[in-house]
Structure 1
Amino acid sequence: MPATIARDTLLEALDRILEPERFEDYCPNGLQVEGRPEIRRIISGVTASHALIRAAAEQEADLILVHHGYFWRGEPQPVVGMKRRRLQALLQHDINLVAYHLPLDAHPELGNNAQLGLELGLVPEGSLRPDGIGLVGRLPEPCPPEQLAIRIGAVLGRQPTWVQGGAHPVRRLAWCTGGAQSMLATAAGHGVDAFISGEISEQTTHEARELGVHYFAAGHHATERYGPRALGAWCAERFGVDHRFIDIPNPA
């Protein structure tokens, strides 16, 4: 039988481990929508979509834990349309919505980048940025970029877009999940052979070629599944609550 924990106790523990106060973020971190005060079942996922809320309600969840929550800087404020339907579903089922954005990217063990490195078998050696977002490391053994593309596709279940940065193999590399294609030049400054992220922009192709860095766009959603799952599992292990990760398919 799963244990029950007070929501505020759980939130205090999450804030201690993720340290959201360290980040100038694009959205509020922590509790975004208040639900019932006692937590027995957590559903984790990447994005607090209506589909995830419906699935959580079917699973009788008390709390949804995600990387992409609500109330982003610059978004329209009126509670209408899609926003109204999402909030209505949460409030109707008395489900808490908890989201951690940059803090979950940066955590050295449970974060998206740390977990993606584990999934791909990468060896981290340091941070890409001073705030800990993104990692620099190496492969256990150097390999041709074609083989790295195959490995990424096999692990993530989708073939990455690969931009050739030359004819060299991959020894050292950097990675940052999600929409971090703008960090390619930063990665190149670390002297890496390749950079893995989620998305690709028009200019990324030219930058990769001119910087001499192989670029792999492996999917925003696909690269950020592992942090929320790991954080939910941490909650379950630490407090004895029930946790289930629900992956809502997303080709982006």
Structure 2
Amino acid sequence: MNHLKLETLLNELLSPHLIKDYCPNGLQVEGKVEVKTIITGVTASQALVDRAIEEKADALLVHHGYFWKGEPSEIRGMKYRRIKALIENGINLYAYHLPLDVHPTLGNNAQLAKLLDIEMLGGLEAGNPNSVSVFGQFAEPLSGDELAARLSIALHREPLHIGDTGPAEIKTVGWCTGGGQDFLELAAQKGLDAFISGEISERTVHTARELGIHYFSAGHHATERYGVKALGEYLAANHGFDVTFIDIDNPV
């Protein structure tokens, strides 16, 4: 497929024009015209770029790309080396940030719900059809320890659990993959029993304790593996691309 046609296909699927983001979504670095082989991964780190080169990929499709708001605009140092490697090897870089978080079936939030067997009920941000934080419920209540164990098995890492004052049973839960810890207060206001995200801040512990809600910090990378993986699988199944997901593990 033509590389620009692939961008159009991805834009039609993920609708980035509907979401205000912190980076450009779509084709960030242009490469060869024809795309057949795609490497997917969470972050366009040098390690992932190097693997894409080794695999002779035509394109790299990630959740975390380049050109974030507030970062230096100069292409030098680490940014130069990454972009230089992509250009010299003709590799297209496609990146979708918040549009991949919120997609109703392929998104990070939807995929985390599938992994944890949560029924998704809606967005936490009232009036926002593209809310990056969502809520739902379990078919059967869980204890805090049981949910921590389920997260550990599903994401292959032990979450940090703050549950000192949370309810004995967790039936309702909110979540936001990646760095969504500041939606915790909104989850508590909605009366949810627990909230899951990737990261934790010092203030998060006090908020959880004082509002009587469980908080699970399950890893930014760990909670965001599955959206881009699902997107790649969709492209392979529906459009005939040769797609490989490569997980460059990250303990954060």
Q: Which of the numbers 21, 45, 48 marks the counterpart of 1:49?
A: 45
Once residues 139 and 47 of structure 2 are traced to their aligned partners in structure 1, the CA distance between those partners, rounded to angstroms, is 39
Contact 1:197 1:219 in 2 (8 A): yes
Aligned to 2:142: 143
For 1:200 and 1:95, how far apart are their aligned partners in 2?
A: 35
Partner of 2:85: 89
Match of 1:116 in 2: 112
Given the alignment of the two structures, is residue 99 of structure 1 paired with residue 62 of structure 2, yes or no? no
Partner of 1:212: 212
How many Å apart are 1:23 and its aligned residue?
1.2
Gaps of 5+ in 2: none
1:38 pairs, out of 25, 34, 40, with 34
- Within 5 Å, which residues of 2 pair with 1:153-192? 153-164=152-163, 165-192=165-192
Deviation at 1:147, TM superposition (A): 0.5
8 Å CA contact 1:107–1:132 kept in 2: the answer is no
How far apart, in 2, do the equivalents of 1:94 and 1:166 lie? 52
SS in 1 for 2:161: strand
- For 1:54, give the aligned amino acid: D
CA distance in 1, matches of 2:191, 2:32: 49
The sequence identity of aligned pairs, in percent, is 53
- What is the one-letter code of the residue matched to 1:238? N
The reply to whether residue 236 of structure 1 matches residue 219 of structure 2 is no
Q: TM-score, normalised by structure 1?
A: 0.96
Contact 1:105 1:134 in 2 (8 A): no
The secondary structure found in structure 1 opposite 2:173 is strand
> SS state of the match for residue 110, structure 1?
coil
The 8 Å contact of residues 168 and 193 in structure 1, kept in 2 or not, is answered as no
Higher relative contact order (CA 8 A, sep 6+): 1
Following TM superposition, the consecutive aligned residue runs of length 4 or more in structure 1 with deviations greater than 6 angstroms are none
**Structure 1 vs Structure 2 CA RMSD:** 0.9
Task: Return the offset for 1:189.
Answer: 2.2
**1:225 alignment counterpart:** 225
**Unaligned runs of at least 5 residues, structure 1:** none
- Aligned position for 1:67: 63
**In 2, are the aligned partners of 1:18 and 1:103 still within 8 Å (CA)?**
yes
Matched to 1:31, the amino acid is: L
Deviation at 1:134, TM superposition (A): 2.1
Residue 184 of structure 1 aligns to which amino acid in structure 2? L
Distance in 2, matches of 1:167 and 1:18, equals 37
TM-score by length of 2: 0.96
Post-superposition Cα deviations, 1:103-138, rounded to whole Å, max 9, x if no partner, equal: 001100000000011011111111122223122101
* Equivalent residues of 1:122, 1:139 under 8 A apart: yes
Contact 2:167 2:213 in 1 (8 A): no
| Separation (CA, whole Å) in 2 of partners of 1:41 and 1:140 | 40
Distance 1:230 1:190 in 2: 30
Distance 2:89 2:71 in 1: 25
Mean Cα deviation higher: 131-140 or 115-124: 131-140
**Which residue matches 1:77?**
73
Q: Deviations over 1:142-193 (max 9, x none)?
A: 0101010011011101000000142421000011100000111111122110
Separation of aligned partners in 1, 2:188 and 2:231: 30
Q: Distance in 1 between matches of 2:52 and 2:58?
A: 8
Q: Which aligned pairs between 1:5-24 and structure 2 lie closer than 5 A?
A: 5-24=1-20
Count residues in correspondence: 248
Q: CA–CA distance in 2 between the matches of 1:128 and 1:109?
A: 17
8 Å contact from structure 2 (residues 22, 68) kept in 1: yes
